[in-house]
Structure 1
Amino acid sequence: MVTTTIPGVAAEESTEAPRQITTRVGPSDHVFRLIARAGGAAVLLIMLLVGCFLLYRGSTALQVAGWSFFTTEAWDPDSNNFGVAALLVGTVLVAMVALSFAVPLAIGTALYISEYAPGRLQRTLVSLVDLMAAVPSVVYGLLGAYLLEGKVIYLARWLSTWLGWIPIFRVDGVDPRDPLATMSVYTSSTFIAGMVVAMMVTPIISSVMREVFSQAPVGEREGAYALGATKWGMIRAVVLPFGRGGMIGGTMLGLGRALGETIAVYMIITPVFEIKWQVLQNGGISVSALIAQQYGEASDFGLSALMAAGLALFLMTLVVNFIASTIIVRSRSGAESEA
C-alpha cells in the first residue's frame, strides 16, 4: 500500500478523505444562468407555439385528406384533391441542387480567406461575404430571372446532352443534340432555382466554415510544418479535420435556409404539381413557393391546406436539424485532428 505524506501534516491525518473544494457563485453568475436558461426556454416555447399554430390551422385540411395528404401530388383543395408529395420532393430537389453548388464554393472561399489571403485583403473579403448574406432574397430572384436564366440554359442543355443517361439529368420531349430544338424546356427549372438559392446560402455556409477554420490550433499547425508538410498538407491534416463539425453545421444551416427559401424560387420556377425528378426540365414547385403563390387568393379551406403544407415543411426542417445536431456532436471540431 502506497501512501502520500503531506509535509507538515501527520501521517494519520493524511489518510483521511480528500477535502472537498467548493466555489461560491456570485450574483452576476446567477443572473447570467437565469438569462441563458430563459433564452433557451423561449426558443423552445416559440418553436412549440409555431408547431401548435400550424397544426391547429391545418387540422381541418388534414382531417379531410387523411394520410393521402402525404402521397397525393395534385394541389386542388377546393376539390378535396391535394397533397404535399410533389411539394416536398420539389423542395428537397431545389435544396440539393443549391448545396451541390454552394458547399464546394463555400469551402474554397473559407479556406482562401482563412489560410491564403493577406491580412488586408482578408478583412475586405470577410466584409464582402457578410454583406452578401444581407442582400434581400428578392434581389437574388431578380438576378436569377433576368440575368442568370438566359445563360444557364446552355449549361443545362450541355448537361442533358452528355449526362442525359442519368435520370435526374434527362429532359423529356426534346433531343438535346438537335440544334433546332427549343430551349424553352430548360427555363424556369429546378436547376436554375437551385443555382439562385446557392448564391443566397453560400455566404452563410462560408462564414461558419471560415470561423471554424481560423480556430484550428496553432500548435498543431506548427507541428505539421515541422514534420515537413506543405501548406495544403497542413490544411488537409489539421484544418479540415478540426473544422469537420463546423463544416457539417454550416452546411446544415445552409440547408435549412434553402428548404425555406420563398421569393427567389417563386420568381423563377414554373409551378407543376407532379413529382419531377428531372431537375433540368421546365417546371417544379416547393412548399414555400406554393404558400407565397396562393396565400392571397386561397379560400378558408385552401388556407387550411396551406397551413398543413407549412406544418409538413416545419417538421421536415426539424428532422434535418436534429440529424445535423447528432452528426455535429459525434464529430466535434478538433476531436479527430491529425497533428
Structure 2
Amino acid sequence: MPRARSVSREERLAIRLRGFRLGDRVFHSLTFLAAILVLALLSGVIVSLVQGSLPALHAFGLNFIVTEVWNPVGDRFGALAAIVGTLVTSAIAMLIGVPVSIGIAIFLTELCPMWLRRPIAIAIELLAGIPSIIYGIWGLFVLAPFLQRTLEPWLIALFSPIPGLNLLFAGPPFGVGVFTAGLILAIMVLPFITAVTRDVFSSVPPVLKEAAYGLGCTTWEVSRQVVLPYTRVGVTGGIMLGLGRALGETMAVTFVIGNAHRLSASVLAPGTTISATIANEFNEAVGDLYTSSLIALGLILFVITFIVLALARYMLMRMERRAGA
C-alpha cells in the first residue's frame, strides 16, 4: 500500500491561515448583517409612522402642529399642547436633575469616605431599575399630595408679587401637573446621569488633581477648573442620555401630569405630553383620523428625539475638535 504523504509545516500553516481568513469573513458578515438589521428596523419604524400619519397630516397639514384643540368627538386634533408639555417637563427634569446628578458624582469621587461610597452608588443605581409605573404610583399617591399641601402653596405665595413669575407659578395647587411630572422625570433620569458622570470623573488622571491641590486649590476649584473641563464631553453625553429618557417617558408622567389637552402659562397646572396622550387614548381611538393623529404624535416625538440626539452629537464633535485644537 502507498504511504500517506506527510504534511509539511508550511502546508499546515497555510491551512491554518485559510481557517483564520474564513473565520474573519464569517465574523465580518455577521457584524455587517447586525448593523444592517438595525438600519432596517429604524427604517421600518420611520416608514410605519409616516404611513400611519398621512391621513392626519393630509387633513390638518401644519395646523396639526400649531393647534391646541384636541376634540375626538368633532375629529379636530392638534398636537401643540402635547408638544409643549413634552418639552416643558423635560426641561424641568433637566434643570433639577442635572445639578443634583453632577453634585452627587462630585461627592462620590472627591468627598465621600470610602466606606460610604459603594452603598450610595448602589442605592443610586437601584433607582434605575425601578419600573416607571412604580414611580407613577408613588408620584400620584405620595408626591402629588405632598406638593399640594406644602411646596406648591409656598411657590404661589412666594412668586405672586413678581410680574412674570406669578404667571409661571399661578394657582390653585392641584398637586398633579406639569411641575410634578418634571420632578418625577428628574428623579428618574438622575441615576443615568449620575452613573455616567461618576465614571468620567473617575477617569481624570490623579496627577492633574494633585497638581491643583498642590497649588492650593480647594475641592470646589479642582472640581470646577480641572475635573469638569477635562470630562465635559462625557458629562454632556450623560446629560443627553438623560434627556432622551425624559422625552420618551410614558407611564410615570401619565399618572401625575393631569392629562389635560390645554396650554397654560403656569407649570403647576395640569397638562399632557406626547407619550401620555398616546398611552391614554390609543386603545380608545375610534376612526382612522383619530388613530392617525395619535400615530402622528408618535412621529413628532420621533423627530424631536432625533433632533435632540443630533444636536447632542454635534455638540460632542465640536467639543472634541476644540479639545484637540
**Does residue 1:313 correspond to 2:301, yes or no?**
yes
In structure 2, the residue matched to 1:66 is 61
Deviation at 1:171, TM superposition (A): 6.7
Distance 1:35 1:241, change over 3 A: farther
| RMSD, aligned CA | 2.5
Distance 1:192 1:231, change over 3 A: same
Q: Normalising by the residue count of structure 1, what TM-score does the alignment of the two structures yield? A: 0.81
Structure 2 counterpart SS, 1:45: helix
**Does residue 1:98 correspond to 2:93, yes or no?**
yes
Contiguous gaps of at least 5 residues in structure 1: 1-25, 175-182
Q: Provide the C-alpha distance between the structure 1 equivalents of 2:319 and 2:24, rounded to a whole number of angstroms.
A: 30
Q: How does 1:1-339 map to 2 (within 5 A)?
A: 37-153=32-148, 154-164=150-160, 165=162, 167=164, 169-170=166-167, 185-281=173-269, 283-301=270-288, 302-332=290-320, 335=323
Q: Provide the C-alpha distance between the structure 1 equivalents of 2:196 and 2:176, rounded to a whole number of angstroms.
A: 31
Q: Provide the C-alpha distance between the structure 1 equivalents of 2:233 and 2:78, rounded to a whole number of angstroms.
A: 36
CA contact (8 A) 2:156 2:170 kept: no
Q: Provide the C-alpha distance between the structure 1 equivalents of 2:321 and 2:24, rounded to a whole number of angstroms.
A: 28
Deviation string for 1:18-65 (max 9, x for gaps)?
Answer: xxxxxxxx7577776666555444333322221111111121121111
Structure 1 counterpart SS, 2:259: coil
Q: Provide the C-alpha distance between the structure 2 equivalents of 1:236 and 1:88, rounded to a whole number of angstroms.
A: 35
Contiguous gaps of at least 5 residues in structure 2: 1-19
Distance 1:57 1:117, change over 3 A: same
Deviation at 1:300, TM superposition (A): 3.4
Deviation at 1:130, TM superposition (A): 1.3
Distance 1:35 1:163, change over 3 A: farther
CA contact (8 A) 2:152 2:175 kept: no
Shifted more, 240-249 versus 206-215: the winner is 240-249
Distance 1:111 1:33, change over 3 A: farther
Deviation at 1:121, TM superposition (A): 2.2
Q: Provide the C-alpha distance between the structure 2 equivalents of 1:200 and 1:303, rounded to a whole number of angstroms.
A: 30
Structure 2 counterpart SS, 1:335: helix
Q: Provide the C-alpha distance between the structure 2 equivalents of 1:238 and 1:30, rounded to a whole number of angstroms.
A: 46
Deviation string for 1:198-255 (max 9, x for gaps)?
Answer: 1111111111111111111223222222323233222222111112112211111111
Distance 1:207 1:171, change over 3 A: closer
CA contact (8 A) 1:249 1:328 kept: yes
Deviation at 1:284, TM superposition (A): 0.5
Shifted more, 62-71 versus 269-278: the winner is 269-278
The amino acid across from 2:151 in the alignment is L
The amino acid across from 2:155 in the alignment is L
CA contact (8 A) 1:241 1:334 kept: no
The amino acid across from 1:52 in the alignment is V
Q: Normalising by the residue count of structure 2, what TM-score does the alignment of the two structures yield? A: 0.85
Q: Provide the C-alpha distance between the structure 2 equivalents of 1:132 and 1:67, rounded to a whole number of angstroms.
A: 40
Deviation at 1:159, TM superposition (A): 1.7
Distance 1:121 1:189, change over 3 A: same
The amino acid across from 1:328 in the alignment is L
Q: Would you tell me which structure has more helix in proportion to its own residues?
A: 2
In structure 2, the residue matched to 1:177 is none
- Aligned residues with identical type, % of pairs: 35
CA contact (8 A) 2:155 2:169 kept: no
CA contact (8 A) 1:225 1:234 kept: yes
Deviation string for 1:257-294 (max 9, x for gaps)?
Answer: 1111111111112222222231022x101010001110
Q: Provide the C-alpha distance between the structure 2 equivalents of 1:224 and 1:36, rounded to a whole number of angstroms.
A: 45
Structure 2 counterpart SS, 1:323: helix
Deviation at 1:168, TM superposition (A): 5.5
